[in-house]
Structure 1
Amino acid sequence: MNPRLLALGVAIIALPVALVARDAPPALKTPAAFAGIANKDARSVALFREMGKVIQSPRCINCHPRTDRPLQDDDMHPHSPPVARGPYNFGASGMECTTCHGRENVTFANGEGSIPGNRKWRLAPIEMAWEGKSLGEICTQIKDPARNGGKTLDQLIEHNTTDVLVGWGWNPGKGRTPAPGTQAEFGALTRAWVESGAKCPA
């Protein structure tokens, strides 16, 4: 293909990304900010609500859709081109996630957008679908080993603190707003939530 035509195609694809205003993500409060809540259950709920700033951000919801099609971008529209979950949450045969997504983000040639990538790139299992659910419903789901990948609460702390695909949410590549705060802050909130009883919002 003519290199000039190829560059034009990339620029056209990237144009909508470049035109969307990207606001800086809000900061996360630390667990210490909730120490003044004397009631332990109320403190636990408040901690999870703070975690919800991450959990309900596009960086998480896009990979936890309620259907077999992922979402994308900050407005959480259906993935384009259309793709399917497939039997292993890794895309359908012949159109797997790695067809387009590599082990790391790839910035467009014009520098105004990117194709996301991570060595663990895939959809969350349908049992972990969060799209369209209230924060309380997601909280209950996160605590249920049948719907959280068989994890204990201690394993959830580890997952939120160190998992590289979770961590991608704070390094999503050009054209996407990172999740609020940092992964370390999110992990600290998760630990404080668990230690306070892992209570869920109503």
Structure 2
Amino acid sequence: MIAGRHLILAASVLALPVAVLASGGQVLRMPASSVEGSPSDRDRHSAALFVEMGKVIQSPRCLNCHPRTDRPNQGDAMMPHNPPVVRGADGHGAPGLECATCHGPANVAFATGSGSIPGHPNWHLAPIQMAWEGKTLGQICQQIKDPKRNDGKTLEQLIEHNSHDTLVGWAWHPGKGRNPAPGTQAEFGALTRAWVESGAKCPA
């Protein structure tokens, strides 16, 4: 749970919401152009930006593919994947039952009902060192910044990843039966850039 002081801070340093989302009515608030005050004020502003990014990071669309175990989760309820599958050596599933066995290059709606099978050309789990499930937002922030755990990415590369990676972008186009992540990928990328440029500070 995000501490109340972070919510207050986020509201005070971020501009008005620019979009209202279907995902539980959540919005992403774009950053103020600048923050006056002491270095500690600026650090709190930077941490508040990551709290806003956390609306996406801690949504089911992201957490399901960043599980704490070798089994992904699925759906808005984040239940264990059914049928049971495992990560495999490279995150693409076990030999003979790889992710691509069921997950094609695009979402496929069921012939009846309101659900769908998610798809992307590179559907796979995040590396286990990037497991987010069950962690605090502060722990996830430290993890994301650490090149030893984020696949060797610099902060600039993280901006590019969050802004333009198409598998990240799937979170806003998840197919029938799933709520999209809050905001848009462009807004998430803008928040990531603002966070990096403000010092990439982490919430407590």
Superposition pairs for residues 51-200 of structure 1, below 5 Å?
51-200=53-202
Q: What is the match of residue 48 of structure 1?
A: 50
CA distance, structure 2, for counterparts of residue 195 and residue 143 of structure 1:
13
> 1: CA distance between counterparts of 2:23 and 2:161?
27
TM-score (norm 2): 0.85
The alignment-based identity, stated in percent, is 69
Matched residue pairs, number?
Answer: 180
Amino acid at match of 1:196: S
Residue aligning to 2:27: 27
- What is the SS of the residue equivalent to 2:70? coil
TM-score, scaled to structure 1: 0.86
Alpha-carbon distance in structure 1 between the residues aligned to 2:66 and 2:158: 16
Point out where structure 2 has 5 or more consecutive residues left out of the alignment: 1-21
CA distance in 2, matches of 1:199, 1:37: 16
Contact 1:120–1:164 (8 Å) recurs in 2:
no
**CA distance in 1 between partners of 2:132 and 2:24 (Å):** 23
Once the two structures are TM-superposed, the CA of residue 23 in structure 1 deviates from its matched residue by: 5.0
Give the aligned CA root-mean-square deviation in angstroms: 1.3
Partner of 2:15: none
Identify which of structures 1 and 2 has the higher relative contact order when contacts are C-alpha pairs closer than 8 Å and 6+ apart.
Answer: 1
Larger Rg belongs to: 1
User: Which ranges in structure 1 are unaligned for 5 or more consecutive residues?
Assistant: 1-21
Question: In structure 2, how many angstroms separate the alpha carbons of the residues matched to 1:23 and 1:178?
Answer: 6
